[in-house]
Structure 1
Amino acid sequence: MIPPWRRLVFYGCIASAQLQFPSLLDATIDDLRGGLDAGAFSSVDLVNAYIGRISDASSLNAVTELNPKALEIAAEVDRERAQGKVRGPLHGIPILIKNNIASVENNNTAGSLALLGATSRDAFVVTRLRAAGAVILGKAGLSQWANFRSSNSSNGWSAHGGQVYGAYVQNQDPSGSSSGCGVAAALGLAAVCIGTETDGSIASPAQRNGVVGIKPSVGLTSRDLVIPISEHQDTIGPLAATVKSAAYVLQAIAGQDPNDNYTSAIPNSIPTLPDYVAACQEDALSDARLGVPSNVLELFLEFDASRQVEVDAFTSALDTMRRAGAEVVENTNFTELNAWANSSAEGVVLRADFVTNLASYLSKLTSNPNNITSLADVSRFTKTVAPGPEEFPSRNTATWDQALDPQSGFGNTDPRFFPFLQENLFLGGEGGLLGALERHQLDAIVLPTSFAPGFAAIVGAPLVTLPLGFYPANTPRVMNRRGNLVDTAPNVPFGLSFLGRRFDEAKLIGFAFAFEQLTKVRGTVKPFLIPATEIRRGDL
């Protein structure tokens, strides 16, 4: 195949080389690597193009801050390339990071004015990206505090960053909490975006913006200097236009870090982690044994019958997998599904972890202008120091109020915490995802993405989501709980997820890649707003 950055155009009997740069809406890391390696364009050209695209799509608020040193960093990696030093496949590739992951050139606020101006060193995953030669382009918008503040806010809203809007429908709910990352990946505002997930915060915005999301096992990627919710469920992963592009980034950021002891559980430490890029094989579904927990489909449809569109597309997808050589095993049910549906354990675990883990993060700041040292300080700031900009009480603090309640709130060192954690591990283990995988000797569980994240979240298991379809033209327009964003409507995307055992990312990536190559759903419907700026060589 002729690379997209170069074609031979014939004029009569004369052949002349004409550069045709990849459209950044769909450009993969392989496309960009090819152009950079061939000298068709530079990293500086790429950064300028992405900055232009971010400006083109500024009405969607996907990007909160640009890195003021992005062009300087790009020029440096271009000089390295010119000298024959290429650090790897991400050398010169611009990447956005969610605004709860620390980088020295930008604010790191979780969308709160309470942390505006606070500083720290780079997060471990940012250090890894820089070491790989990537250019940190800026910070992507998110649901404030990673959707861990209000019971009545909207996905993608932050006091620091504004309201992020989805890519496919005007005023679309972008889903959360990695809202800006989903939109940025959908519109080609960076090559890849790094998000975080506690329960659904990579998977959900990825599916609602028609892109790929990899939610790694807890402990595969370090949470060092990432504003936390829960040490037991938080994880860091990529959102990208394609499975392979996401795999490149996961390869760069995975690995052990002494500042996050959960990473010591990685079975194979660097440099012998699985090759996630090599896992992208078109025949990966051949001989795969995939389980479908039918009781999960029934439960979610009972709760929300409008998801039948997603289930119908999912059923067709299972036939595609069978034709690719997979064995699809029906009724691999989660034995404690009803107990899971009625359990409050996850909420208790998250609130207790947040009280403890947030204080730990805040203690590591090198400057802290508002002297925020605890969740109680954050709550006080939000309610009394900046209630107008923080939109309190219109957007309440119900989650914090529960966590700080003197009777029922406690940190994760309190003896009351342990039974709730054990309940979580049982409901997601023997009674849920991990039990089903073992009982039926499965390689993975497959589910519509709308139904999937919670089962992986409570046991720290991995999930890979990719595009499955779009809501059809006759879909009723439904608003979100706050009434300010479109939740479902014609052209809103939805996805399919592969879930597996802890540290089984390579296997799931292979399944997702094979399905992606068979279906190529992305691109069949275009975003409602497409940035006009494309790559232009600086010397042209």
Structure 2
Amino acid sequence: MKRRTFIKNGSLASLTLSTFILGSCNQTSTTKETATTAATSAESGEFALNEVTLSQLQQYMKEGKYTSRAITQLYLDRIQAIDKSGPKLNSVIETNPDALTIADAMDQERKAGKVRGPLHGIPVLIKDNIDTADKMATSAGSIALADNKAAKDAFIVAKLREAGAVLLGKTNLSEWANFRSTRSSSGWSSRGGQTNNPYILQRNPCGSSSGSGVAPSANLCALAIGTETDGSITCPASINGIVGIKPTVGLWSRSGIIPISHTQDTAGPMARTVTDAAILLSALTGVDAEDAVTQESEGKSQSDYTRFLDANALQGKRIGVEKSFLKGHEEVDALLQKTLELLKSKGATIVEVEVMKHMGEISDSEYTVLQYEFKDGLNRYLAKANGQVKSLKDLIAFNKQYEDKAMPYFKQEILESSEAKGDLNSKEYKEALAKNKRVSRNTIDTVLKENSLDAICGPTYGPSWCTDLINGDHFSGYGLTSPSAVSGYPHITVPMGMVKGLPIGFSFFSTAYREGELIAIAYAYEQASKNRVAPTFQPVAV
């Protein structure tokens, strides 16, 4: 998740000129020269699968141009060249030693006339807090869980395998999904190091699904899976110039995923196009007996969200725009006005609304709920895990024992404050949870109903900031994640344009299980705007 207003001062209240500075970060000349050479090499046009879509990959395999093994090998080579060396994005924490074996099996099935569906033979990267019963660890980026080999696939991983996908590897993340310190750097973990923004390497990729945002953007894969508690899919998707979908809590199972909050956590797809994200979203829905909230999705989920892909879907739609985000950074403002005019030109009616002002009422209570649920959920997970720690208390002690490696830049105040909380029967927890649900859901539902809206929109985030391991993140005054995160409602972000070489995302969200309608609107906007720009791995701002 992204550390939000419950930790920092309110995002709108803390706007300063320094918030939007886009100058160069400090960097040695040697690093600049290395990064410049690597960027030139990376963008020489030599990569065969650059900006390829799932439909193109399937066509390649159907025609015999590439096998799944060849595609998988190309991505493995790309990861080695771009992620581990070259610009050194550091978005992949480990590759799957069984990836080529899986790809071979999918090729044999295809040769025998069996194609499981649109994910058959497609390499996918998944965030390193999602269990895989294989040779890869599931660590949440922590060296305390570097040896945690899961005994069972997470539900969504089992669905991936059923769909014929190739598990390519695990992506780096903000350690413990950014729920460790009030001044952490997004994209940093003790096991994986710092993930870098592929557009400008000194800039931050946002988090906590940092690697899952960077990898598809940099063409290390076509698809990735992230997780979100509050902003952890939508922020890195926005800042890395891709599409991210945070589903309704309950549409995808959370069993086998290292938790923060059972009321807000969800995994979701991250891809370069709305179509590809919709394909992945479709494949992993389902009721899971080990995650009770998924029972609520029965009769509400769709087996194929691509049926909502309609380039004319904006016609007749009423869309609310968050009023407080109409003015902030002048270049973001210009992109927003251009976007609103485009939506109108495609038949949508735009209505100014106010949602974010109500979120301030629950910034403290959201943090309270997350601390209680994190302690409860993590203790349950660690008790069954194969790592060196079996409880949150053990983890805190481990980090102190190995402080030079586990906490070289920032500490663990959030872990410690969470450990100090009681259990889920606490009056403080129950009151905070009730307040969160009441305020967030009533606000969104009321705004939608009173204005007869199909969705609410606005800039997802502002431009990325310089990575700062000492002082931590410096989020801009934008941030449209909390309403959908706290309510558990769906949210999709699509590229809106560029500011000084950095991507800006545009968000649409609505009420529960409206993924189909949001995908339709987002797809129509994507097709009309075509704002996706591939990264060029610049060492500094240009």
Say whether 1:333 aligns with 2:343.
no
Aligned ranges 1:26-175 → 2 under 5 Å: 26-57=51-82, 58=84, 59-105=88-134, 106-120=136-150, 121-175=152-206
Of residues 269, 294, 301 in structure 2, which corresponds to 1:263? 294
CA offset at residue 308 of structure 1? 3.6
Say whether 1:312 aligns with 2:334.
yes
Say whether 1:234 aligns with 2:265.
yes
CA offset at residue 361 of structure 1? 1.5
Conserved 8 A contact 1:212-1:241? yes
d(CA) in 1 for partners of 2:144, 2:391: 11
Of residues 510, 532, 537 in structure 1, which corresponds to 2:520? 510
Letter in 1 for 2:90: N
Aligned ranges 1:349-364 → 2 under 5 Å: 349-364=369-384
d(CA) in 1 for partners of 2:480, 2:513: 17
Of residues 344, 351, 365 in structure 2, which corresponds to 1:322? 344
Conserved 8 A contact 1:340-1:427? no
d(CA) in 2 for partners of 1:195, 1:247: 14
Say whether 1:442 aligns with 2:453.
yes
Counterpart in the other structure of 1:497? 507
d(CA) in 1 for partners of 2:536, 2:253: 33
Counterpart in the other structure of 2:20? none
Deviations 1:76-122 (A, max 9, x none): 00000000011001000000000000112210000001111122211
Mark the CA change 1:22 to 1:395 in structure 2 (over 3 Å): closer, same or farther.
Answer: closer
CA offset at residue 410 of structure 1? 2.4
Mark the CA change 1:512 to 1:437 in structure 2 (over 3 Å): closer, same or farther.
Answer: same
Conserved 8 A contact 2:92-2:215? yes
Letter in 1 for 2:308: A
Conserved 8 A contact 2:358-2:439? no
Deviations 1:420-441 (A, max 9, x none): 01111122122x2222112222
Unaligned ranges ≥5, structure 1: 1-19, 472-489, 531-540
d(CA) in 2 for partners of 1:411, 1:279: 42
Which structure dedicates a bigger proportion of its chain to helix? Answer: 2
The 3-state SS of whatever aligns with 2:433 is helix
d(CA) in 2 for partners of 1:217, 1:22: 36
Letter in 1 for 2:458: L
Conserved 8 A contact 1:274-1:506? no
Counterpart in the other structure of 1:4? none
- TM-score for the superposition, normalised by structure 1: 0.84
Letter in 2 for 1:395: F
Say whether 1:457 aligns with 2:466.
no
**Seq. identity, %:** 38
Letter in 1 for 2:223: V
Conserved 8 A contact 1:196-1:234? yes
Mark the CA change 1:339 to 1:28 in structure 2 (over 3 Å): closer, same or farther.
Answer: closer
Mark the CA change 1:403 to 1:323 in structure 2 (over 3 Å): closer, same or farther.
Answer: same
Letter in 2 for 1:517: Q
The 3-state SS of whatever aligns with 2:283 is helix
Conserved 8 A contact 1:186-1:241? yes
Conserved 8 A contact 2:106-2:164? yes
Q: CA RMSD in A?
A: 1.9
Deviations 1:489-537 (A, max 9, x none): x2111110000111100111111111011010112x643269xxxxxxx
d(CA) in 1 for partners of 2:133, 2:212: 19
d(CA) in 1 for partners of 2:48, 2:244: 21
d(CA) in 1 for partners of 2:48, 2:527: 19
Conserved 8 A contact 2:319-2:456? yes
Counterpart in the other structure of 1:528? 537
Say whether 1:418 aligns with 2:430.
yes
d(CA) in 1 for partners of 2:518, 2:423: 34
Conserved 8 A contact 1:354-1:411? no
Kindly report structure 1 stretches of 4+ aligned residues shifted beyond 4 Å. 20-23
The 3-state SS of whatever aligns with 1:60 is coil
Letter in 1 for 2:235: S
CA offset at residue 390 of structure 1? 0.8
CA offset at residue 327 of structure 1? 1.6
Aligned ranges 1:180-195 → 2 under 5 Å: 180-195=211-226
Deviations 1:359-397 (A, max 9, x none): 1222333x33x1x2221111111112x2111125x3111
CA offset at residue 275 of structure 1? 2.5
Conserved 8 A contact 2:459-2:480? yes
Counterpart in the other structure of 1:196? 227
Letter in 2 for 1:224: S
The 3-state SS of whatever aligns with 2:407 is coil
Mark the CA change 1:207 to 1:108 in structure 2 (over 3 Å): closer, same or farther.
Answer: same
The 3-state SS of whatever aligns with 2:124 is strand
Max Rg structure: 1
CA offset at residue 339 of structure 1? 6.1
Say whether 1:243 aligns with 2:265.
no
Counterpart in the other structure of 2:9? none
Conserved 8 A contact 2:493-2:507? yes
The 3-state SS of whatever aligns with 1:458 is helix
Deviations 1:167-225 (A, max 9, x none): 10022201000000111010111110000000000000001110000010100000011
d(CA) in 2 for partners of 1:445, 1:47: 38
d(CA) in 2 for partners of 1:35, 1:207: 29
CA offset at residue 318 of structure 1? 1.0
Conserved 8 A contact 1:78-1:92? yes
Counterpart in the other structure of 1:378? 395
CA offset at residue 22 of structure 1? 8.8
How many pairs are equivalent?
472
Counterpart in the other structure of 1:286? 315
Of residues 397, 407, 429 in structure 1, which corresponds to 2:441? 429
Counterpart in the other structure of 2:498? 470
